[in-house]
């Protein structure tokens, strides 16, 4: 792989990460507002800790789910490549 290809790959990865950050911040704001509606003001330390724990648990579950889906999709691709 040439230097130019590596630079382009890294730029693409950074741009993707930037869009991911923007999406994460948007979701964070939306989830905080939902949390406020359901549980009231989120200004207390207990409320913020609860919010952080809930979001972390959801993030872990979705990360595992996404990784399994990708692994499953890759397995399907490998089957297609080896099947005549």
Over residues 35-43, mean pLDDT:
74
Residue spans of the domains in the chain: they are 1-40, 43-84
18 pLDDT band (50/70/90 cuts)? very high
Residue with tokens 């911040």: 25
Whether 36 contacts 50, CB under 8 Å: no
Question: Please, which residues have CB within 8 angstroms of residue 74's CB and are 6 or more apart in sequence?
Answer: none
Confidence at residue 49, expressed as pLDDT on a 0 to 100 scale: 83
Q: Is this prediction's pTM over 0.85? A: no
Contact 42, 35 (CB under 8 A): yes
Q: Which residue, chain included where needed, has tokens 């890759």?
A: 74
Rounded CA-CA distance 6/71 in Å is 25
If pLDDT is split at 50, 70 and 90, which confidence band does 61 have?
very high
């Amino acid at each position: 792989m040439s230097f130019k290809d590596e630079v382009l790959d890294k730029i693409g990865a950074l741009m993707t990460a930037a869009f991911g950050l923007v999406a994460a911040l948007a979701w964070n704001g939306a989830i905080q507002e939902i949390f406020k509606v359901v549980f009231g003001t989120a200004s207390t330390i207990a409320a913020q800790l609860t919010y952080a724990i809930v979001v972390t648990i959801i993030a872990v579950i979705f990360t595992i789910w996404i990784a399994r889906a990708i692994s499953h999709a890759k397995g399907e691709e490998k089957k297609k490549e080896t099947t005549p």
